[in-house]
A and B are shown apart, each in its own frame.
Chain A
Amino acid sequence: MISLSYFLVFAAALFCIGLYGVLARKNAIAILMGIELMLNAVVINLIAFWRFRTPEMIAGQAFAVIVFAVAAAEVAVGLALFIAVYRRRNTIAADEIDLLKW
């Protein structure tokens, strides 16, 4: 049978892959994709816990819906920001945008 552990490990792995993407990729859009991955991992975790622990309550699903909504909104704003930054600096590599450096 599929136990909770599989889902949790899967979610943790997704999260870590997403973290690696955020920390190691140069392209800003790749970073954003990594963030999405992390959010997805979170939702999977949420749903898994709901199904295995309290399937009769609907709170878990409601929560997950909200998270999806937030993720989507955040992606939209993030991409808009990248476009604006690109217009200014003509680059979207994260390590070239270092205006706040000393």
Chain B
Amino acid sequence: MYGLLSATFFAVIQVVIYIGAIAILMIFAIMLTRRVKQEVGSTVNKGWWLAGVMSLVLFTALVLMFSTWSGFRTTLPEMPADVDTIKVLGTALVSPNAYVLPFEIASVLLLAALIGAIVVASEKKS
């Protein structure tokens, strides 16, 4: 789908991040938090029907909202040719009068998350 959207970078990113990192993390987490020899209870909690109802309501509301919007049915416009989207994205992310600040902050955030995760999940040596 990202390809359809000429966002090729994102297609790759999606695969790399989600499958390569997040899914692996989840598998590890599931492994670590599995209860041994536990009977399988229901996977959904008691109010699942309410949650389903809410989701459906939200979905229909969103769709209804979109359908009243004028720009809903626009077609795909032409991309300006000979623009290397990835190069432009890269330059934008590091150029000072573009988006270097959010980029740096995002990296700091990732660092903090990394350290935080390690601290939180570490075993306490008492």
Question: Are A and B part of the same complex?
Answer: yes
A residues near B (Cβ < 8 Å) are 1-5, 7-10, 12-13, 15-17, 19-20, 22-30, 32-33, 36, 40, 43-44, 47-48, 50-53, 55-56, 58-59, 61-62, 64-66, 68-77, 79-84, 86-87, 90-95
**A10, A72, A91, A92 — most chain B CB neighbours (10 Å):** A72
**Cβ of B79: which chain A residues have Cβ within 8 Å of it?**
51, 55
Contact call A43/B10, Cβ cutoff below 8 A = yes
Known: A5-B72, A16-B62, A72-B17. 7 other contacts (CB 8 A): A13-B59, A20-B54, A26-B45, A65-B103, A76-B25, A80-B117, A82-B33
Q: Is the interface of B mostly helix, strand, loop or mixed?
A: helix
Please give the residue numbers on chain B whose beta carbons come within 8 Å of chain A beta carbons, in ascending order.
1-2, 4-7, 9-10, 13-14, 17-18, 21-22, 25-26, 28-30, 32-33, 35, 41-48, 50-52, 54-56, 58-59, 62-63, 66-67, 71-77, 79-80, 85, 88-89, 92-93, 98-99, 102-103, 106-107, 109-110, 112-114, 116-121, 123
A30 contact set on B, CB distance < 8 A: 43
* A20 to B16 alpha-carbon distance, docked (Å): 26
| Selected A-B contacts with CB under 8 Å, 12 pairs | A3-B72, A3-B75, A20-B55, A53-B71, A61-B7, A62-B89, A62-B99, A65-B13, A68-B13, A72-B110, A73-B114, A79-B25
Known: A8-B72, A61-B85, A82-B33. A70 touches B117 (CB 8 A): no
Point out the residues of chain B lying under 8 angstroms from A94, CB to CB. 45
A40 to B43, alpha carbons, bound, how many Å?
Answer: 23
A24–B51 contact, CB under 8 A? yes
What is the CB-to-nearest-CB distance from A81 to chain B, in angstroms, rounded to a whole number? 6
On whether the beta carbons of B63 and A58 are closer than 8 Å, the reply is no
